[in-house]
Amino acid sequence: MRKSDFIGILLLAFVMGCRYSVAVADFYATRCYPVISHGLSWCAAFVPFSLEEIIVISFVLAFVRALVRAVRRKQGFGRWLGKTLRIAMWLVVWFYVGWGNNYFRTPLYPRMGIHQTTFEKEAFDRFLADYTLALNEHAGAEKTWDREALTADIRTFYTKQVTAYGYTGLREWQQVKKPLVNPLYSAVGVLGFMGPFFCESQVNLDLPDNEYPFTLAHEMAHLAGVTSEAEANYWAYVFCRQSKDASVRYSGYLGILGYAASNASALLPDDEYDAWSETLSPEVLEDYRSNREFWQGKRVKVIDEVQRWMMDLLLKSNNVSEGARDYFGVIAMIMTMDAKQTDTM
């Protein structure tokens, strides 16, 4: 045992405390994570590219090196296992202490004293009509934003508005990073990701302009401490919806179209769903189709399926019971939160 091992074990005990005690996880989210995320991202701000991939590759190489050395030196199984467990311990500790402990905090609804809206067809029809009207009205909006200004607007939004819901404000040095292996993310349809090791937000460099604002706001929601994919979609939608830029608002409306269509298909009779889909403007349908075909053309099926399985497993192992299906909960969250805000007005 090394001295560093005792530090690692203490940190691992803290991770276990967060996993099995909501009070400890809430302490981490409100007291520890703001300091940790700001510190780690400040260190990462000195390089323009993502450090997350470098960390992951380094851990993989460390595992391989431990195995190769064990074989070459004919070390016993116990010695190899000890080294492997040490590497695994630090991987787990860094992931959860850096960001992952946010998974175990009190969820948004009970934290805010909110109950999720139960399905009522009249309310859903009203939402769908209002949403479709706004979506169609903004179709074809000309892009007027630039990426640096958009990032600054999102930082301000999360710092001034979303911190009231128990999340962390964002600092000026927390910029979106460029992935080092961008073609790999396009091959598995990943539009962006949150890096837990240095608290960095990354977005896919291939993103079309009409998807960029919504995706960037989604990933920066994770940076603020949001772990639920549905909730990250919700805050991204809220940011885009309140923007003064029509093209940013359109990105938000277009960003949830697939989820709205999925909910409508599941909740409405076939004839009503068909009638609703016919109300979508040709411009909206063309943008949605074009984006889907664009990403489908870049995907590699085998890698895509492995990534989806791993993502689903990661989410389910961290208190997200719906796994990858969690993204689709954004419509229920929009209706719930909008109804709550209406009631308090």
Note the pLDDT of residue 323: 79
Q: Per DSSP, what are the bridge partners of residue 192?
A: 203
- Of 286, 284, 296, nearest to 260 by C-alpha is 284
Mean pLDDT (whole number) for 53-75 = 91
Express each pLDDT in 86-116 by its tens digit.
Answer: 999 999 999 999 999 999 999 999 999 998 8
Percent of the chain residues past pLDDT 90, beyond the cut: 81
Note the pLDDT of residue 324: 75
Please give the mean pLDDT across all residues of the chain.
93
Note the pLDDT of residue 345: 45
pLDDT over threshold 70, residue 280:
yes
Token digits of residue 181: 């292996």
pLDDT over threshold 80, residue 201:
yes
* Amino acid present at 69: R
pTM for the whole thing?
0.95
pLDDT over threshold 50, residue 241:
yes
DSSP 185-216: HHHTT--EEEETTTTEEEE-TT--TTTHHHHH
pLDDT over threshold 50, residue 128:
yes
Select the more confidently predicted residue: 73 or 101: 101
pLDDT over threshold 70, residue 31:
yes
Note the pLDDT of residue 343: 59
Hey, where are the domains in the chain? 3-104, 110-344
* Choice among 87-101, 260-274, 320-334 with the minimum mean pLDDT: 320-334
Split at pLDDT 50, 70, 90, the class of 48 is confident
pLDDT over threshold 50, residue 187:
yes
Is 280 in a helix, a strand, or coil? coil
